[in-house]
Chains A and B, each alone.
Chain A
Amino acid sequence: MHIRLEDSERHVLSVTVDNEAGILARIAGMFSARGYNIESLTVADVSPDHRISRITIVTNGPPRVIDQIIAQLDRLVPVHQVTDLTDTGPFVERELALVKVSGKGDSRIEALRLADVFRAKVVDTTLESFVFEITGPTSKIDTFVSLMRELGLVEIGRTGVVGMLRGVAA
């Protein structure tokens, strides 16, 4: 007997929750307890009184699993609202990365030129290195990082995705 895997699709979920101790563990633990995947997860409080946080979760799974994830999130007591941005769409999806590259001569110039093409900002520099700040959808950052690998990539930090529906409605 072999274990069979089902085809997955990627979904970006936006979840508003009470900003309380343990909320992240409650959400992340629900995913691990039920065997769901987390590609990325971001959380920060978003209300003036600091009572509400928005969590953006990128997950993947077959459609019925995505439905279950949404239902399971929704039944947690501190969860206010779950929006499947991928289903509700169109939506904006952004990630921020800091990318450190070291090098001299041509590779250094090429790194700077590519950074300009990708609208990355230089936020730190020495004679032998840059730290670039880049924002964009995950695919753009993936591409930038893979180009930098050729040019002396030292390290990367990524925030994970935040997302929001386009248009006037929340």
Chain B
Amino acid sequence: MAEKSGADILVQCLIDLGVDTVFGYPGGAVLPIYDMIYEHPTINHILVRHEQAAAHAAEGYARSTGKPGVVLVTSGPGATNAITGITDALMDSIPIVVITGQVATHLIGTDAFQEADTVGLTRHCTKHNYLVKDPAELARVVHEAFHIATSGRPGPVVIDIPKDVQVATAPYEKPVLNAHPSYRPQVEPDADAIEATVDLILKAERPIFYTGGGIINSGPAASEALRTLADMTGAPVTSTLMGLGAFPASSPQWLGMLGMHGTYEANWAMNRADLILCLGARFDDRVTGRLDAFAPHSKKVHVDIDRSSINKIIPVDVPVVADVGRAIEAIIARLKTHGFKRTGYADWWAQIEHWRAKKSLDYAEPGTEIMPQRAIAELFKATRGRDTIITTEVGQHQMWAAQHFHFDGPNKWLTSGGLGTMGYGFPAAIGAQLGNPDALVIDIAGDASIQMNIQELGTVIQYDLPVKIFILNNEYMGMVRQWQELTYESRYSHSYSDSLPDFVKLAEAYGCKGIRIEGIQELAPGIQEMIAHKGPVVVDCRVTKLSNCFPMIPSGAAHTDMLLDPSQVSGTMDDEAKALV
């Protein structure tokens, strides 16, 4: 059998697994792999400017294409810099495979130059990780890593490869993966659990579908199945931040996002429902609010491919461990055999319309300053009919984008939900653009968040990626400032973005187009100019400085205690609520 070096085996595996794009940054401990990549131009290597960005770019690529993202970084600081992105992928269940270089096996444990205990450091921020000490093991490990990253509940997998293992040779044969002895995610739902679910649907008078990122992870078929089930039953649909786009926002059955910054109708409907069908969501604390007041009148069904998500926060009546798409299809099939008749839930909808009439996302527009919500709404209007992918950073702008940009399809909304990582959006947009070369990819950013990975302007220029960065600039870490206003009597401790750069000049310094938008009259033309420009653009959109994101469920409060506008803000909070922030 022919012998190959570890580096050669790795690159051969990547090619065999259909990897076309790798996000990375070279360094001493990965030089043999980089030399092999030099010989294989079919692999499109994207040189980022910071390893954290490589991981987020891989997430953006994965989330927008459904294929795993791949990262290649060096040992020590290369690996530790990537850890934020790896943790982000774990929290949001994004399939990425991160290959890290390691010092040679005989140097491990000696505090060698650029040594870090990568498997130790990433053990609890990966779905699984490997340290490969023999090139003969490498092919099986790489194929298994991709299988684990992409199956079951997706997540990040790290493969740490010492430099001598990259150089040493071993016989190579394309591996055949047999069934894994211990890792076997349950994909098909249990028939009794589906029967119990259908039984509850048949009895329900006030059902609601509470959907999440699992539907998007499951693939487009799950979104289709959700639409079919919603059509069939006429039930209202709400979604978590991560699930936006799985159900079309243009549908009359769409209630908008739920949770801390969700709509009035979504949160009230959750509170008053008699059946909650949780489909690929996980009862996150930003969704539930106060636990003892969460949906007290309802039976609950929880469909999740990860058994540990079920009964973790909220006890449910019917647990369904399965791929959410397969479970929805099974529910549809059983409803049909039961001869389900659509009642339309007229009384329930009448009540929902009453809540909807509050128009909880409305906002006042004083004078000629740009309200941030207006900026998002204009962006949505200007991009309608195009294949648009939105990424965000984390903070107020993220919530406004979730509220005022509307998605009709999955994989078009990329945001850091679980970890809440400032600096996610721009590199994620790079990954999304590479995976979707013809799409209009816009990072909706804040003035503080964008600075956390602004160095990637170099990357978009190098690879001529027409990513648009739309900064809602209010000169604050807006969400921190909002919490300080609500919870700490407006003592704005370190939340002012002092010494901001001139974003237009900064863009120009990188060779990128910069546009400044000041005042409502410049908003629509500025957005048009951004879209019309063929290359990357940074837009510095100056918005009102002190706007707050409403509606809002204060920390530790119930869904029914929503604040709708600034007049309801007290400026203090008790210790129990402060502790929950």
Q: Is the Cβ of A22 less than 8 Å from the Cβ of B315?
A: no
Residue on A with the closest CB to B124?
Answer: A33
Q: Could you say which of A1, A25, A29, A72 contacts B308, with CB atoms under 8 Å apart?
A: A72
**A21-B131, A30-B124 known; A74+B308 contact, CB < 8 A:** yes
Minimum CB distance partner of A72 in chain B: B308
Specify the main secondary structure of chain B where it touches its partner.
loop
A121 CB–B CB distance under 8 Å? no
Contacts of A79 in B (CB 8 A): 182
Cβ-based interface call for B176 (8 A) = no
CB distance from A34 to the nearest CB of B (A): 9
Asked if A71 and B181 make an inter-chain contact with CB atoms under 8 angstroms apart, the answer reads no
Most buried by B among A26, A75, A77, A78: A77
Are A75 and B307 closer than 8 Å at their CB atoms? yes
10 additional A-B residue pairs with CB within 8 Å, beyond A25-B123, A26-B123, A29-B124 = A1-B575, A17-B182, A18-B181, A68-B312, A74-B307, A75-B307, A77-B128, A77-B183, A79-B182, A80-B181
Question: For the complex, what is the distance from the CA of A22 to the CA of B133, rounded to whole Å?
Answer: 13
What is the size category of the interface that chain B forms with chain A? 20 to 34
- Complex CA gap A33/B125 in Å reads 10
Beta-carbon nearest neighbor of B182 in chain A: A80
The answer, among B123, B131, B148, B575, for a CB contact under 8 Å with A29, is B123
The answer to whether B182 touches A71 (Cβ under 8 A) is no
- Given the complex of chains A and B, what is the CA–CA distance between A26 and B129 in angstroms? 10
Contacts A33-B124, A78-B182 given: A22-B307 contact, CB under 8 Å? no
Chain B 157-202 interface residues, beta-carbon cutoff 8 Å to A: 180-183
**B binding-site residues for A, Cβ under 8 Å:** 119-120, 123-124, 127-128, 131, 148, 153, 180-183, 306-308, 310-312, 315, 574-576, 579
Contact at A64–B308, with CB atoms within 8 Å? no
Partner of A68, one of B127, B183, B308, B576: B308
Which residues does chain A contribute within 8 Å of B120, judged by CB atoms?
22, 25
Interface residues in chain A, defined as those with a beta carbon under 8 Å from any beta carbon in chain B: 1, 17-18, 21-22, 25-26, 29-30, 33, 64, 67-68, 71-72, 74-80
Q: Is the CB of A1 within 8 A of B579?
A: yes
B308 touches A77 (CB 8 A): no
Query: Which are the 7 A-B pairs with shortest beta-carbon distances?
Result: A71-B308, A1-B575, A77-B128, A80-B182, A77-B183, A33-B124, A71-B307
* A77 and B127 within 8 A (CB): yes
* Distance between Cα atoms of A78 and B311 in the complex (Å): 23
29 contacting pairs across A/B (C-beta < 8 A): A1-B575, A1-B576, A1-B579, A17-B182, A18-B181, A18-B182, A22-B131, A25-B120, A26-B123, A29-B124, A33-B124, A67-B311, A68-B308, A68-B311, A71-B307, A71-B312, A72-B308, A74-B307, A74-B308, A75-B153, A75-B306, A75-B308, A76-B128, A77-B127, A77-B128, A77-B148, A77-B180, A78-B182, A79-B182
Of chain B, the residue at the smallest CB distance from A26 is B123
- Docked pose: A68 CA to B314 CA in angstroms: 12
Question: Are B123 and A64 in contact, with the CB atoms below 8 A?
Answer: no
Neighbouring B residues of A29 by C-beta, 8 Å: 123-124
Tell me how far the C-beta of B219 lies from the nearest C-beta in chain A, rounded to whole angstroms: 21
